[in-house]
Amino acid sequence: MLRAGFFESFKGADTLLIWGDEQGLVLLQQFMAQRANGTSMSGEFGEIEGVQVRPRLKVTFELGSDELRIDRNDATVVIVASCSADLLSAFAAKIARLAGPKRRTGHQYLEWPGGASIVIMVSKGEYPDDFGA
- On whether residue 120 sits in a domain, the answer given is yes
Closest by Cα among 11, 44, 48, 8 to 28: 48
- Distance of alpha carbon 21 from alpha carbon 1, whole angstroms: 6
Q: What global pTM score does this model have?
A: 0.92
- On whether residue 130 sits in a domain, the answer given is no
| Mean pLDDT, the chain, integer | 91
- Distance of alpha carbon 66 from alpha carbon 82, whole angstroms: 5
- On whether residue 54 sits in a domain, the answer given is yes
CATH at residue 30: 3.30.1360
- Beta strand 2-10 with 13-20: parallel, antiparallel or unpaired? antiparallel
pLDDT exceeds cutoff 90 at 23: yes
- On whether residue 132 sits in a domain, the answer given is no
List residues bridging with 4 in a β-sheet: 18, 53
Residue 95: which domain range? 2-124
Q: How many domains does the chain have?
A: 1
Query: Per-residue pLDDT tens for 26-80?
Result: 999 999 999 999 888 888 988 888 899 998 999 999 988 899 999 999 899 999 9
What is the model's pLDDT at position 4? 95
Exposure of 80 in the CB half-sphere (CA atoms within 13 A):
10
- On whether residue 129 sits in a domain, the answer given is no
48 near 27, Cβ under 8 Å?
yes
- On whether residue 57 sits in a domain, the answer given is yes
SS3 105: coil
Average pLDDT on 126-130 reads 92
What is the model's pLDDT at position 115? 79
- On whether residue 12 sits in a domain, the answer given is yes
- On whether residue 43 sits in a domain, the answer given is yes
